[in-house]
């Protein structure tokens, strides 16, 4: 047995024979030709054929729901229309008496070189697109059939590198896993491998031609491949693979299923996200909406104060990408542990109890208005909820709404279309939870931020490990505040969700549902497991019970569970 290391892209295990995938290497003749018009015709025919193929790959990927990879092929097809850099230079070279193959190699390599010398990583990576197009052009000009490169048996494919159009053309039913010597974790192949969930190893420098046909196991968990593995490795990893498969099947079955208890109580399962890049994960994990879009990324990713336009684009992208699902965007929550240089915030003795979130926004209304205007403009493109964080008093909510309305009037006067939206607040301070009745009169929804609510209720700094013996994620005071907030919300027709870590805690799902929670917002990966929990709950057994009997008076005992840190930050 031999073991080789690489960089994993996807967890998971592939077991089977190795097939070395080698793209053809063409001998390009330097001999001159005489029929220039005929050669230009050959070039044009090949160009149109490759363009047609790229458009077909675009359609195929769109139909499969892979918008990201589809975009690659759409751009490829457009590049092939480029007169200045590709078409004219090729025709000029042919005009000098060279073959179409020679012209394609020269012109495309030159274009790829231009990109590879650029400063920006995104543009540098485009040289791979041009090389991909060059190879496709040469395949057509040489009349090569590339469909047999993969072999006819299911195999772990081993290659130097794979171009996007090669990766997409692979027969998925014959692909067990993928190993390449080159590649980066941002390459198209890596993106595709992730979206298809193929066990994949890149930068495996030791790949060798004599692996071809050998039995191997690709172990994504340990970022390695075993060539001719020992029996104990085979047994262990076969069992692990079977277990993965069973778990995955269970979860996949839950896609498209309603999030409803056995006795018919529905709950909305939304996702927590950090930016437009997470839209895909929301869709893939079948979340019904977004319960918490942390808008901090627009502030944290920028060196200067982000403009209204920059924010608008980010919000619009998410709203449009997820419509008609609801997307709740939390307004700026910087301060405390999230500081930003350009904000020039003073250093505080006690930042968790300091100048943060809505407190900054209400003190700096111009800063706040830029975000609110961006949100209102984006509201026309989807189903928006606007949520204000760190509320303790009713006047803050009234003031936030006043500023929002001011922005709305301004935009309407400018002739900007504004869609419908809901307004909500985070309940993450004991003050807000205890005043939930008054606050509910002002808003459409509440969202319980259980991480801060726990830290503020128990006076336990969530960063401090020495407090662990005192911490209890299920502290009855916190659970009571959650329950009372839900009840207060419902008294005023305000729906109530939970967007903190407790929302995903399987040991609390039943309690939350029993108390009437309307929505749980969790990280995208937790959506399907949580749906599984919800569908196993049966609330009918509580119908005869009196509400008092449910309280568990364990407040005098030391916490039984492993502390709050492990659970909150695992």
Partner 1 sequence: MKEFTYVITDPVGIHARPAGLLVKEAKNFKSTATFIKGEKSAKATALMKLMGMGIKQGDEVLVRVEGEDEEACAAALEKFMKENF
User: Any idea how long the chain is?
Assistant: 570
Q: Which of 35, 65, 95, 123 binds partner 1 (CB under 8 A)?
A: 123
Q: Which of 106, 310, 484, 538 binds partner 1 (CB under 8 A)?
A: 310
DSSP string of 127-172? HHHHHHHHHHHHHHHTT---TTTT-SS-EEEEES---HHHHHHS-G
The verdict on whether 224 is a catalytic residue reads: no
The window from 76-84, 286-294, 366-374, 487-495 that contacts partner 1 (CB under 8 A) reads 76-84
Tokens read off for 20: 């070395």
Catalytic residue from among 332, 400, 458, 499: 499
Supply the minimum distance, in Å, between the C-beta of residue 200 and partner 1: 24
Check binding of 120 to partner 1 (CB under 8 A): yes
Beta carbon nearer to partner 1, 309 or 554: 309
For the residues of 349-371, what is the DSSP string, one character each? S-GGGSS-THHHHHH-HHHHHHH
Cis preceding-peptide flag for 324 (omega within 30 of 0):
yes
CA–chain centroid gap for 282, Å, is 7
Closer of 316 and 356 to partner 1 (Cβ): 316
CB of 109 to partner 1, least distance (A): 13
| Residue span binding partner 1 (CB under 8 A) among the ranges 304-312, 326-334, 461-469, 528-536 | 304-312
Which is catalytic among the residues 66, 98, 188, 475?
188
Per CB under 8 A, 75 contacts partner 1: yes
Binding footprint of partner 1, residue count (CB under 8 A): 28
* Sequence-separated (6 or more) residues with CB below 8 Å from residue 564: 454, 460, 462, 468, 471, 472, 473
Cα–Cα nearest to 207, from 141, 161, 138: 161
What interhelical angle do 100-116 and 88-95 show, nearest 10?
Answer: 140
Residue 86 binds partner 1 (CB under 8 A): yes
Least Cα distance to 230 among 217, 221, 219, 239 occurs for 217
Part of the chain binding partner 1 (CB under 8 A), chosen from 158-166, 305-313, 338-346, 420-428? 305-313
Can you tell me the distance from the alpha carbon of 69 to that of 221, in angstroms, rounded to the nearest whole number? 25
Known active-site residue 98: no
Residue 119 engages partner 1 in binding (rule: CB under 8 A): yes
Would you give the binding string for partner 1 spanning residues 95-114, x where CB under 8 A is met? Answer: ----------------x--x
Nearest to 520 by CA among 217, 187, 267: 267
| Smallest separation, CB 88 to partner 1 (Å) | 10
Tally of CA atoms within 13 A in the half-sphere of 189 that contains its CB: 30
Q: If binding is defined by CB under 8 A, does position 126 make contact with partner 1?
A: yes
Fill in the DSSP letter of residue 561: S
With CB under 8 A as the contact rule, the residue among 17, 181, 313, 492 that binds partner 1 is 313
309 binds partner 1 (CB under 8 A): yes
Pairing of strands 224-227, 215-219: antiparallel
Q: 421: which strand partners?
A: 384
User: For residue 380, with 0-12 CB atoms within 10 Å meaning exposed, 13-18 middle and 19 or more buried, which class applies?
Assistant: middle
129 contacts partner 1 (rule: CB under 8 A): yes
> Which residue of 7, 11, 85, 184 would you call a contact of partner 1, by CB under 8 A?
85
- Can you tell me the distance from the alpha carbon of 290 to that of 270, in angstroms, rounded to the nearest whole number? 5
118 interacts with partner 1 by CB under 8 A? yes
Interface with partner 1 includes 286 (CB under 8 A)? no
Residue among 280, 311, 308, 313 at smallest CA distance from 298: 311
Q: Is there binding between residue 78 and partner 1 (CB under 8 A)?
A: yes
User: Is 79 near partner 1 (CB under 8 A)?
Assistant: yes
> Of the candidates 307, 363, 417, 555, which one interacts with partner 1 according to CB under 8 A?
307
Between CA 568 and CA 563 the distance in angstroms is 9
Near partner 1 by CB under 8 A, which window of 123-131, 206-214, 339-347, 360-368? 123-131
Torsion of CA 400, 522, 562, 480, to 10 degrees: 50
Least CB distance to partner 1 at residue 544 (A): 57
The beta-strand segments (E) located in 228-334 are 268-273, 289-294, 326-330
Task: Tell me the closest approach of the beta carbon of residue 147 to partner 1, in angstroms.
Answer: 27
What is the closest distance, in whole angstroms, from the C-beta atom of residue 344 to partner 1 in the complex?
Answer: 21
Site string for partner 1, 25-64 (x = CB under 8 A): ----------------------------------------
In the bound complex, what is the minimum distance in angstroms from residue 236's beta carbon to partner 1?
Answer: 43
The site for partner 1 (CB under 8 A) is made up of 71-72, 74-75, 78-79, 81-86, 111, 114-115, 118-120, 122-123, 126, 129-130, 301, 307, 309-310, 313
Catalytic residue numbers read 188, 499
């Amino acid at each position: 047995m031999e073991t080789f290391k690489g960089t994993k892209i996807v967890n998971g295990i592939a077991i089977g024979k190795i097939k070395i995938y080698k793209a053809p290497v063409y001998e390009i003749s330097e001999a001159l030709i005489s029929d220039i018009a005929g050669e230009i015709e050959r070039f044009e025919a090949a160009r149109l054929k490759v363009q047609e193929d790229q458009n077909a790959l675009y359609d195929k990927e769109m139909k499969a729901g892979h918008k990201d990879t589809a975009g690659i092929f759409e751009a490829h097809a457009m590049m092939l229309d480029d007169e200045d850099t590709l078409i004219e230079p090729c025709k000029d070279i042919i005009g000098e008496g060279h073959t179409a193959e020679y012209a394609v190699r020269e012109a495309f390599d030159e274009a790829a070189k231009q990109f590879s010398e650029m400063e920006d990583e995104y543009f540098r990576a485009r040289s791979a697109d041009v090389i991909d197009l060059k190879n496709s052009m040469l395949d057509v000009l040489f009349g090569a059939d590339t469909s047999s490169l993969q072999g006819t048996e299911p195999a772990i494919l081993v290659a130097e590198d794979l171009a996007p159009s090669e990766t997409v053309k692979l027969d998925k039913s014959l692909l067990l896993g993928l190993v390449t010597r080159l590649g980066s974790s941002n390459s198209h192949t890596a993106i595709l491998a992730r979206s298809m969930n193929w066990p994949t190893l890149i930068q495996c420098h030791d790949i060798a031609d004599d692996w071809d046909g050998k039995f191997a196991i690709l172990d994504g968990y340990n970022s390695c491949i075993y060539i001719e593995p020992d029996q104990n490795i085979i047994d262990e990893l076969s069992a692990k693979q079977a277990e993965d498969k069973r778990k995955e099947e269970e979860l996949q079955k839950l896609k498209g299923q309603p999030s409803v208890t056995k006795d018919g109580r529905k709950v909305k399962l939304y996702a927590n996200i950090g930016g437009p890049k997470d839209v895909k994960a929301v869709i893939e994990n079948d979340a019904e909406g977004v319960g918490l879009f942390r808008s901090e990324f627009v502030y944290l990713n920028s060196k200067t104060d982000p403009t209204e336009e920059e924010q608008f684009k980010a919000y619009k992208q998410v709203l449009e990408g997820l419509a008609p699902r609801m997307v709740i965007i939390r307004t700026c929550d910087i301060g405390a542990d999230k500081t930003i240089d350009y904000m020039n915030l003073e250093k505080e003795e006690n930042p968790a109890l300091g100048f943060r979130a809505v407190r900054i926004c209400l003190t700096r209304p111009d800063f706040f208005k830029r975000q609110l205007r961006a949100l209102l403009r984006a509201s026309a493109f989807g189903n928006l909820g606007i949520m204000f964080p760190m509320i303790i008093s009713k006047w803050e909510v009234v003031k936030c709404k006043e500023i929002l309305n001011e922005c709305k009037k301004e935009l309407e006067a400018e002739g900007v279309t504004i869609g419908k939206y809901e307004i909500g607040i985070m309940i993450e301070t004991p003050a807000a939870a205890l005043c939930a009745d008054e606050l509910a009169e002002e808003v459409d929804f509440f969202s319980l931020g259980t991480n801060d609510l726990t830290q503020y209720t128990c006076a336990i700094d969530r960063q401090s490990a020495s407090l662990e013996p005192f911490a209890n994620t299920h502290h009855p005071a916190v659970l009571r505040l959650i329950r009372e907030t839900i009840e207060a919300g419902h008294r005023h027709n305000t729906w109530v969700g939970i967007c903190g870590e407790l929302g995903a805690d399987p040991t609390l799902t039943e309690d939350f549902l029993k108390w009437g929670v309307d929505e749980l917002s969790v990280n995208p990966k937790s959506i399907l497991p949580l749906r599984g929990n919800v569908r196993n709950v049966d609330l009918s057994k509580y119908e005869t019970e009196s509400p008092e009997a449910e309280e568990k008076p364990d407040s005098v005992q030391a916490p039984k569970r492993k502390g709050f840190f492990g659970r909150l930050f695992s």
